[in-house]
A = this chain, B = another copy of it.
Amino acid sequence: MSERTLELVAVPDIAPTHPRFDWALVWTLVRREIRDSLRDWRIVIPIGLLTLLFPFVMNFMADVVFDFLERYDATIIGERFVPFGLLAVGFFPMSFSLVIALESFVGERERNSLEALLATPAGDVELYLGKLLASLLLPLLASYIGIAIYTVSVVWERRWNLPASVFAQVVALTTAEGLVMVTAAVLVSSHTTSVRAANLLASFIIVPIAFLVQIESLIIFWGQEQALWWIVLGLLVLDVALVRAGIRTFNREAILAREIDFLNVERFARLFWHFFKAPPEEAAQVRQQYGGTPPSLQLGRIYRHDLPRLLAENRWGLAASLLTVVGGFLVGWALLTWWEIPPDFLDMRSFDPEAFRAALQRRGAAFALLPAFDFRAIFWHNLRVLLGGALLSLFSFGVVALLLLAAPMMIIGLLASGLAASSQNWLLFLAAFILPHGVIELPTVMLSTAFAVRIGAVMLNPPEGFSVGEAVVLALADYVKVLLFAVIPLLLVAALVEVYITPNVVVWLYS
């Protein structure tokens, strides 16, 4: 310690009129973080290798294969391979750069540098946005560089003309995927207690996006590039939801106060049981006092009170289901012209109700448009799809549940539009094959979907005072309640109708 006296420059107090939000602080934070990341060889080397060498390696491997196949038809392979290569080249550096985003908060917390940051005048939103942008820029840059290198090498070396629209799509997709992955990772980072936990949870970000990339590749190979823009749009919507959820649930209190958490399975199990038994409006109260004896479950109350109330509370989920049903049907209808399908692929004019009835009575090869004529099989199949949707909803913020509802509606829409385009009576078809059981089945599936969506969506927007975990447990409890007391009975009825009534309606209407 020098003996010099402290003669320091005076610093003015902060103005009481200081703006509530200050971009300068955000950028200060971003600059520091990026500079720090660029100095960390454990980040720079792997990302650098992936960014710079992966395109080269990809190209090199293609070289080896192409050289061998050159005599056949390399251009088709090129047309299919290049957009896929671009997607992969953009995705890989991004997914590995996730480590930056995953560490953004929890890493600083583990290294004890977070508190000093929280002690600066920066507010919660500034901190969150700063971390988010800092985590985003480097991965995004890495992706762009990878795409650029690959594009140049493809265009220059292979002299293959990359359509600008494909390039724009790949860049848009990569950007949207990157936004979703990074915002989700920063969200995870601000809600976990250790880097280890954050890294493990990363699988739940990378795996769905990797699946999405594969689906996108399929779409490219299939030649339906326009559909990619819908994926971009969907990703952007999800991203806005994630950023909003991040800002909403971030607070410096929780992040400092959180201690190493043993997963309290028992607590969650008890909480589930209490939520399940209590009426919906008492959830907030139950959350705080779940220690006591659970409230009693009265069957009468469930039907008179709980289910109506749950429906009212989950009107957004029901609206999303309804929109999906209508939208799915309309998209299916439109597919006929989009995909240039011959309209008479389904010819009901030659449909012979007597042969249909005979086939049914033989119980052998069932008519193609209806599955095996066994109501248990139908029931199990429907239930499994619904349960699968609910489960995957948890890992996709609800999206998969909606997609699984949209798919059959699209098929029905496609069938109907085909009949209409070939001047057949599509209303008769719907009335005969779909309506009899559909009048029960469709609302049931929509009901299940509405509550399945909530399981995933609630993570982005937990009820006031609920932790994410508690919110999911509540949504699960509500889902199980709806499932047991409404969906399963209705599904059974619908399956019985489908097997014992629908065929008769078909024969009657088509005779």
A: residues with CB less than 8 A from B are 41-43, 45-46, 50, 53, 56-57, 60, 63-64, 67-68, 71, 96, 99, 103, 107, 194-197, 199-201, 203-204, 262-263, 265, 368, 371, 381, 384-385, 388, 391-392, 404, 407, 411
Count of this chain's copies in the oligomeric assembly:
2
Task: Report B-chain residues with C-beta under 8 Å of the C-beta of A194.
Answer: 42
Question: Out of B57, B96, B392, which one reaches A200, CB within 8 Å?
Answer: B96
Residue of B nearest to A193 (CB): B42
Question: With the chains together, A63 CA to B404 CA distance in Å?
Answer: 12
Asked whether, in the complex, the Cβ of A388 is within 8 Å of the Cβ of B196, the reply is no
Asked whether, in the complex, the Cβ of B46 is within 8 Å of the Cβ of A204, the reply is yes
Question: Out of B41, B68, B388, which one reaches A265, CB within 8 Å?
Answer: B41
Task: Report B-chain residues with C-beta under 8 Å of the C-beta of A99.
Answer: 196, 199-200
Task: Report B-chain residues with C-beta under 8 Å of the C-beta of A392.
Answer: 57
Task: Report B-chain residues with C-beta under 8 Å of the C-beta of A368.
Answer: 71
Question: Out of B42, B60, B388, B407, which one reaches A384, CB within 8 Å?
Answer: B60
Asked whether, in the complex, the Cβ of B371 is within 8 Å of the Cβ of A201, the reply is no
Q: Please give the distance in Å from A268's CB to the nearest CB on chain B.
A: 10
Task: Report B-chain residues with C-beta under 8 Å of the C-beta of A197.
Answer: 42
Asked whether, in the complex, the Cβ of A42 is within 8 Å of the Cβ of B196, the reply is yes
Residue of B nearest to A261 (CB): B41
Question: Out of B196, B204, B404, which one reaches A195, CB within 8 Å?
Answer: B196
Asked whether, in the complex, the Cβ of A262 is within 8 Å of the Cβ of B41, the reply is yes
Residue of B nearest to A107 (CB): B196
Task: Report B-chain residues with C-beta under 8 Å of the C-beta of A199.
Answer: 99, 199
Residue of B nearest to A45 (CB): B263
Q: Besides A60-B388, A64-B404, A68-B411, 18 other CB < 8 A contacts?
A: A41-B263, A41-B265, A42-B194, A42-B263, A43-B200, A46-B204, A53-B391, A56-B388, A57-B388, A60-B385, A63-B385, A64-B407, A67-B371, A67-B381, A71-B368, A96-B200, A195-B195, A199-B199
Question: With the chains together, A203 CA to B95 CA distance in Å?
Answer: 10
Question: With the chains together, A60 CA to B368 CA distance in Å?
Answer: 21
Question: Out of B57, B103, B263, which one reaches A196, CB within 8 Å?
Answer: B103
Question: With the chains together, A203 CA to B392 CA distance in Å?
Answer: 26
Question: With the chains together, A53 CA to B390 CA distance in Å?
Answer: 13
Question: With the chains together, A340 CA to B282 CA distance in Å?
Answer: 73
Q: Please give the distance in Å from A421's CB to the nearest CB on chain B.
A: 21
Known contacts A57-B388, A60-B384; is-contact A203 B46 (Cβ 8 Å):
yes
Task: Report B-chain residues with C-beta under 8 Å of the C-beta of A56.
Answer: 388
Question: Out of B41, B43, B57, B203, which one reaches A96, CB within 8 Å?
Answer: B203
Question: With the chains together, A41 CA to B263 CA distance in Å?
Answer: 6
Task: Report B-chain residues with C-beta under 8 Å of the C-beta of A63.
Answer: 384-385
Q: Please give the distance in Å from A185's CB to the nearest CB on chain B.
A: 13
Q: Please give the distance in Å from A472's CB to the nearest CB on chain B.
A: 13
Q: Please give the distance in Å from A109's CB to the nearest CB on chain B.
A: 14
Task: Report B-chain residues with C-beta under 8 Å of the C-beta of A107.
Answer: 196
Residue of B nearest to A53 (CB): B391
Closest 9 pairs (CB-CB, A-B): A41-B263, A42-B197, A60-B388, A46-B200, A42-B200, A96-B203, A46-B203, A199-B199, A71-B368
Question: With the chains together, A391 CA to B262 CA distance in Å?
Answer: 44
Question: With the chains together, A225 CA to B254 CA distance in Å?
Answer: 54
Question: With the chains together, A199 CA to B195 CA distance in Å?
Answer: 10
Task: Report B-chain residues with C-beta under 8 Å of the C-beta of A42.
Answer: 194, 196-197, 200-201, 263
